[in-house]
Amino acid sequence: MKNKLPYESTGSAIKGYSDSLTARTETNDCVVRAFASAFDVTYDYAHKYVAEEFKRKPRKGTYYTASKITKISEGVLKVNNKKIIPIGTKSNSVVYPYSLSYEVKVKGETVKRQMTVGTFVKKNPKGTFFVLVKGHAFTIKDGVVIGNPEDAIKTKRPMRAAFEIK
């Protein structure tokens, strides 16, 4: 496929993923996997952290992730000695406190566009990013997608939020 991004499976990218009994029984855990790979922590640590800090229930999705990560980034709390930096411009939205929209000229008129995964990777080829798209989360490390295989294929997917992990 022409626009496919490099991909690494969660099994090889996340510490302790293959050995975790919790990982074998979990579903709807994309935020846990993205958190583990972005912050370079074990799956079990990420699972416990997301359950406590984000109020995630076992085998259920994680809600309001962008606003919760933004609150963590505003405080002095660090995860694995790594800092969280929101990407984009500040918005008035409670759900997505930072906007990834940008302006382009189309036939002489200025229109707003939402950043896509492919555009984001082109603009940010280096670094570790926790990425949120509609109903899903994954990690991009130095242009390599860590998540589900289709995350590397769906490059035109609009992004909801992104956070750089340093």
Q: What is the mean pLDDT of each run of 10 residues along the chain (166 residues)?
A: 85 94 96 97 97 95 94 83 93 89 90 93 96 97 96 96 96
State the pLDDT at residue 2.
65
pLDDT of residue 61: 94
Tokens of 80: 């694995």
Contact by Cβ (8 Å): 163, 130: yes
- The CA distance from 74 to 76, in Å, is 7
- 9-33 pLDDT, tens digit each: 998 999 999 999 999 999 999 999 9
Element (H, E) at 50: helix 43-53
Residue reference for tokens 């079990």: 44
Q: What is the pTM of this model?
A: 0.92
Query: Which sequence spans correspond to the domains of the chain?
Result: 7-165
Among residues 34, 3, 1, the alpha carbon closest in space to that of 17 is found at 34
Q: What is the pLDDT of residues 123-137, one digit of tens each?
A: 999 999 999 999 999
